[in-house]
C-alpha cells in the first residue's frame, strides 16, 4: 500500500495517505469547477445534470478538505503531545 517514491513534502521517501488524500481532493475540486463551468455538453437537459454534479463535487471537496485539515491538525497535535510525554518520561528515568 505504501510505495517508495521520491522525497515529497517531507515524507522520508514514502507517499503518505495524507498526500494521496489532498491530491484526490484537489482533482475533485478542479473537476467540479470544470464540470460546472463547461457548457460544451449539448445534450439538452443533461447539461443541467453536469452543472449540478460539478457544483456538488466542488462543494463536497471544499467541505471535506476543511474537515480533513482539522482532523490532520488534531492528529499532529496528538503525536506531538505523545512524543513530548515520551521524552519527559525518558528524562525522568535518567
> What pLDDT does 29 receive?
82
Name 14's bridge partners: 4
Given its phi and psi angles, is residue 5 left (phi above 0), alpha (psi -120 to 50 degrees) or beta? beta
- Tens of pLDDT, residues 2-56: 555 555 555 455 556 677 777 888 888 888 888 777 765 555 566 677 778 888 8
Confirm whether pTM is higher than 0.85.
no
> What pLDDT does 4 receive?
52
**Has residue 83 got a pLDDT over 60?**
yes
Answer whether 29's CB lies under 8 Å from 61's CB: yes
Amino acid at each position: 500500500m505504501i510505495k517508495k517514491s521520491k522525497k515529497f513534502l517531507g515524507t522520508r521517501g514514502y507517499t503518505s495517505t495524507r498526500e494521496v488524500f489532498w491530491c484526490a481532493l484537489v482533482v475533485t475540486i478542479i473537476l467540479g469547477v470544470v464540470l460546472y463551468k463547461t457548457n460544451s455538453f449539448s445534450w439538452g437537459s443533461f447539461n443541467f445534470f453536469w452543472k449540478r454534479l460539478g457544483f456538488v463535487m466542488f462543494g463536497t471537496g471544499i467541505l471535506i478538505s476543511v474537515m480533513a485539515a482539522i482532523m490532520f491538525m488534531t492528529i499532529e497535535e496528538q503525536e506531538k503531545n505523545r512524543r513530548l510525554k515520551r521524552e519527559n518520561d525518558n528524562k525522568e528515568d535518567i
